[in-house]
Structure 1
């Protein structure tokens, strides 16, 4: 099965109400549970593309997790190798390194502990209390990037 087969398209409410509302608040400096606006250059156009994301911190390291799977921002991130995280007027430029599937279970568990109510539907019944084998099974479907903020 191709990576695209695992993409979960957001519903109308998410696309038209929730994401724009979170992005609106985040652009004004109000982080909603770690929200940021991700800006990454398009791999074909070179134009800046933005989307709201949840910035996960585990053991002092920061990560971006793609709950909906291999979507446009993940393809752009692979090509660009980094981007910007926006919170109000604050702009953090970062580099990104994709995390290997074998490292993802701990990160997916932490992500689901924090945001399951918001994104749990995209993980096919796997939650923060699921067995390790379930997290390993879904790991290839959810890109994770380790973020390093540039000084």
Structure 2
């Protein structure tokens, strides 16, 4: 098992950025539960809302996660250079979107925790196909192999403090579905009326 070379790592970072935009859109459309219906293949995916360290703007980042002893764990697979990791290091107060609800929480880097390797394995198992893209097989790798290939990873624990509601959360674009259904029904109805009119007025 070898580490990713810089060129491949750069390619994967770009691919995941595009994929992340799709994941965020699906969560905002209210499909968060559907995304997490097949965790063995698609992985367990939550969204972290955090504040940009330079702009102060709200940012959304989907990540794979595991729940161990009631705490949330995720990993910054690209290490300290990950923008979202640098943001939560600057301000650890975050919001998380889970299939079961929306929570405020506090993020902490626990990479040096004595159980870090065990917890890292749980997160990677929870990442489904994403781990395989990085050449990782967390269910079968030895501790030594896993420690080597995740040397630059950062392990994050998020302690949930309170459930929250209100605007700006998952499903904030769910209104698109009924509006889209009405527009589609109107379009189909118009087509049917036009087709009937043509039949009636064709010599």
- When normalised by structure 2's length, the TM-score is 0.60
Distance 1:129 1:82 in 2: 35
**Matched residue, 2:83:** 72
Q: Does 1:103 align with 2:115?
A: yes
Alignment gaps of 5+ in structure 1:
none
Distance 1:125 1:86 in 2: 26
**Matched residue, 2:124:** 112
Trace 1:14-53 onto structure 2 (pairs within 5 A): 14-16=16-18, 18-27=19-28, 28-31=30-33, 32-33=35-36, 34-53=44-63
Deviation of the 1:145 alpha carbon: 1.1
C-alpha RMSD over aligned residues: 2.6
Deviation of the 1:113 alpha carbon: 2.0
Bigger share in strand: 1
Alignment gaps of 5+ in structure 2:
1-5, 37-43, 163-203
Contact 2:49 / 2:96 at 8 angstroms: preserved in 1?
A: yes
Deviation of the 1:117 alpha carbon: 1.3
Deviation of the 1:21 alpha carbon: 2.5
2:66 aligned to which of 40, 52, 56? 56
Deviation of the 1:104 alpha carbon: 2.1
- After superposition, what is the alpha-carbon deviation per residue over 1:43-82, rounded to whole angstroms, capped at 9, x for unaligned? 1222112111123112322112122333110111111113
Distance 1:125 1:64 in 2: 16
Distance 1:23 1:44 in 2: 22
Kindly name which structure, 1 or 2, has the bigger radius of gyration based on alpha carbons. Answer: 2
